[in-house]
Chains A and B, each alone.
Chain A
Amino acid sequence: MRPPHLHIFLQLIFHLIMLTVIFRTPALSAQSSEENFLDVSIRIFDPPVEDPATPIGEKISSEIRLTEVRYVPMFIRYRLEDSGMFGAVRVLPILDGGAELMLEGQIIKSDGAVLELAIQARDSTGRIWVDKTYSGSAVESVALNESTLTQDAFSYLFAEIVRDLSAAQQLLGPEQLAEIHSAALLKFGNGLLPQFFTDYLNVSADGTVNITRLPAADDPLLRRIEAIREHEYLFIDVVDQEYQQFFTDTKPVYDMWRKFRREQTTSAVNFATRETNSQSDFKRGSYYALQESYNNYRWAKLQTLYLDELSEGFANEVEPTQIELQDSLYKLTGTFEQQYREWRTILAELLALETQ
């Protein structure tokens, strides 16, 4: 349970940050060691588009979908961190306009047995690193020397995503990395004060960003923007911690749901294949033949009910955590997306006042 004063505490942090931003003269952060690493922002994934023709019993409940659109990006986030190839990796509910590398995704299919993801990663200059669909079947394995939090039946799929991103990064030279850093900062500044930053950037229709010129390294406005971004990331990190907690709390339940569903699907397919391929031993029209037909049908119906029960069990167990996360995000942000934008607006107004 979170302390009841979290909201007040967060508000306090927020105001401290604001005061620091307003009154502090920021210094450029140490960049030398960070220049080789890019920060990654991952937006919460989009859920699959349900096929209306899917039978009711096979539909996957909204609680499960709501969980996995958070679970999958969080798992990728941990894998990216573990790779040591990237800087800070953050999971956000919205797009990060000032991200150095923005990763978006959609879950195309997820039924416990198969996972299919459409992933797109684009850096701040608009360069697409990855635009690909990853698909694979669950591979059950247990590593005794690893925490269960780092294990997943689709680990190899996430590893493939990380490999592709790492490979794309390795193709970039120091100049390109520096350009990505600069473009991210300028885009962030452009989001706050477009009137000051438009001249530095040229954004083409396909999203490619060209830096037309750079402000002076000691430009006070640029330094201020950089400081604001750092502070904004502190704020985002608080949200990110909520997602981490959500991941930790729901992973065992989500894993179990996927495992049960996998087993059920396999057993259903095996049973159906066996029954349809084998000849009935009973005389057609006899009591035993009727009973066999009815029992097979009843079995199929019970499987559907079992899937419903799995969904219900999942919802019952995860619902409090879902509510807790929503509640935290709400308290933290008061509808995060709206508040986030408001925050940016306030900062823009402050900067506009300062620069008048």
Chain B
Amino acid sequence: MLPIPLMHLLPRYFLLCGMMLLTGCASAPPPAEVVEAPLRTEDIQDFSGNWEKNYQLSDDFNARFSLYVADIRRGFINTEGRNDSDIAATMGGGVNVDAINGLARFTEEITRTPTIEIAQEDGNINIEREDDFTLNCNYQDRQYSSSSSVFGSDTCGWNQERLIFQMALAGGLSITHQFSLSPDEKLLNVTTRVSSDFVAVPIVISSFYERFEPAAEDYNCVLTLTRSNVCSQRGTPQ
């Protein structure tokens, strides 16, 4: 288990690394640009396996949000020299509060993920997240790979031993997930940073996952086109 002080520092550390590595918040999907990514030169971590959330180690969202709001207040006072009544007036003014609450609610939803199943092989990683879509990164021998659609663009790849997914979506929404392993490889850290063009400070949530062995399934199922899923009992020939 990670020592507690280090655990508290991790989110800020990851945030810094992420900000250094990745481009700033995108307000809109950048135009698709076909530039070949540089070759990957460092060894990569193996994240394969089944992971379940450790709620004790992970950020408590409400506590995190309180700190976040406090940070905003502090920043507001420091930069503008205003007092609490100014802040209350501004935050009560509507737009900012709505945007902050909206960003917080949205962030809480996309960081719930109770379990993760990761398959990693041959330059490709598949991160199946419970209650959300699968993150896939086909990096091959490159440091990162990019793709885009009318709804947003994304880049995924490696920064040393960390795997990073960055998404710049329509409406100025930007999400970054960073995956890293603890030195003993027993814990998976997922740090998610969510920002919006309408809120000055991004929200960063750190979650920790522990390995677990899923219960063995009784059936082997194979997906087919004409017969849908074809299942057979384990141990019997198909």
Per-residue CB contact flags for chain B residues 84-112 toward chain A (1 = under 8 Å, else 0) read 00000000000100110111011001100
B170 touches A53 (CB 8 A): no
Kindly state the interface size class of chain A when it binds its partner: 35 or more
B76 at the interface (CB under 8 A from A): no
Q: A275-B151, A317-B224 are in contact. Are A294 and B110 (CB under 8 A)?
A: yes
B66 at the interface (CB under 8 A from A): no
Per-residue CB contact flags for chain A residues 276-320 toward chain B (1 = under 8 Å, else 0) read 100010011111111111101111111011000110111011000
A260 at the interface (CB under 8 A from B): yes
A253 touches B225 (CB 8 A): yes
* A240 to B173 alpha-carbon distance, docked (Å): 57
Per-residue CB contact flags for chain B residues 133-150 toward chain A (1 = under 8 Å, else 0) read 110101000000101011
A48 at the interface (CB under 8 A from B): no
B226 touches A252 (CB 8 A): yes
Q: Which of B4-12, B182-190, B193-201 lies at the binding interface? A: B193-201
A257 at the interface (CB under 8 A from B): yes
B226 touches A253 (CB 8 A): yes
A66 at the interface (CB under 8 A from B): no
Which residues from B are CB-within-8-Å of A252?
226
A293 touches B222 (CB 8 A): no
B152 at the interface (CB under 8 A from A): yes
Which residues from B are CB-within-8-Å of A260?
225
* A277 to B88 alpha-carbon distance, docked (Å): 38
Of all chain A residues, which has the CB nearest B101?
A287
Q: A252-B226, A289-B171 are in contact. Are A55 and B147 (CB under 8 A)?
A: yes
Which residues from B are CB-within-8-Å of A309?
223
A205 at the interface (CB under 8 A from B): no
Which residues from A are CB-within-8-Å of B95?
285
A290 touches B223 (CB 8 A): no
Of all chain B residues, which has the CB nearest A289?
B171
B167 at the interface (CB under 8 A from A): yes
* A283 to B199 alpha-carbon distance, docked (Å): 14
Of all chain B residues, which has the CB nearest A55?
B147
Q: A252-B226, A253-B226 are in contact. Are A305 and B134 (CB under 8 A)?
A: yes
B49 at the interface (CB under 8 A from A): no
* A283 to B101 alpha-carbon distance, docked (Å): 13
Interface of B is mostly: mixed
How many chain B residues touch A (CB < 8 A): the figure is 39
* A308 to B151 alpha-carbon distance, docked (Å): 19
A313 touches B151 (CB 8 A): no
A290 touches B171 (CB 8 A): yes
A300 touches B151 (CB 8 A): yes
A290 touches B34 (CB 8 A): no
Of all chain A residues, which has the CB nearest B98?
A286
Of all chain B residues, which has the CB nearest A272?
B150
* A291 to B103 alpha-carbon distance, docked (Å): 9
A299 touches B151 (CB 8 A): yes
* Residue of A275, A280, A292, A316 touching B223 (CB-CB under 8 A): A316
Which residues from B are CB-within-8-Å of A275?
150-151
B171 touches A293 (CB 8 A): yes
B116 at the interface (CB under 8 A from A): no
Q: A260-B225, A305-B133 are in contact. Are A300 and B102 (CB under 8 A)?
A: no
* A256 to B228 alpha-carbon distance, docked (Å): 12
B225 touches A310 (CB 8 A): yes
B198 touches A284 (CB 8 A): yes
* A286 to B225 alpha-carbon distance, docked (Å): 41
* Residue of B151, B197, B227 touching A296 (CB-CB under 8 A): B151
B225 touches A313 (CB 8 A): yes
Q: A290-B106, A316-B224 are in contact. Are A280 and B167 (CB under 8 A)?
A: no
A353 at the interface (CB under 8 A from B): no
Q: A53-B34, A287-B101, A313-B223 are in contact. Are A297 and B172 (CB under 8 A)?
A: no
* A253 to B110 alpha-carbon distance, docked (Å): 37
Of all chain B residues, which has the CB nearest A256?
B225
Q: A257-B225, A297-B169, A316-B224 are in contact. Are A286 and B99 (CB under 8 A)?
A: yes
Q: A284-B198, A313-B223 are in contact. Are A290 and B173 (CB under 8 A)?
A: yes
Of all chain A residues, which has the CB nearest B229?
A313
Q: How far is the CB of A283 from chain B (nearest CB, A)?
A: 7
A217 at the interface (CB under 8 A from B): no
A285 touches B98 (CB 8 A): yes
Q: How far is the CB of B236 from chain A (nearest CB, A)?
A: 17
Q: A293-B169, A301-B133, A316-B222 are in contact. Are A285 and B101 (CB under 8 A)?
A: no
For the complex of A and B, list the 10 residue pairs with the smallest distance between their C-beta atoms, beginning with the closest: A285-B198, A287-B102, A285-B99, A293-B171, A296-B151, A317-B224, A300-B149, A313-B225, A290-B106, A297-B151
Residues of B within 8 A of A (CB): 34, 95, 98-99, 101-103, 105-106, 109-110, 132-134, 136, 138, 145, 147, 149-152, 167, 169-173, 175, 196-199, 222-227
Could you jot down 9 A-B contacts, CB within 8 Å? A56-B138, A253-B224, A285-B99, A285-B103, A285-B171, A286-B99, A287-B102, A299-B151, A316-B222
Q: Told that A260-B225, A286-B99, A305-B133 touch, could you supply 10 new A-B pairs with CB distance under 8 A?
A: A56-B136, A275-B150, A275-B151, A285-B103, A285-B172, A289-B171, A290-B173, A296-B152, A297-B149, A299-B151
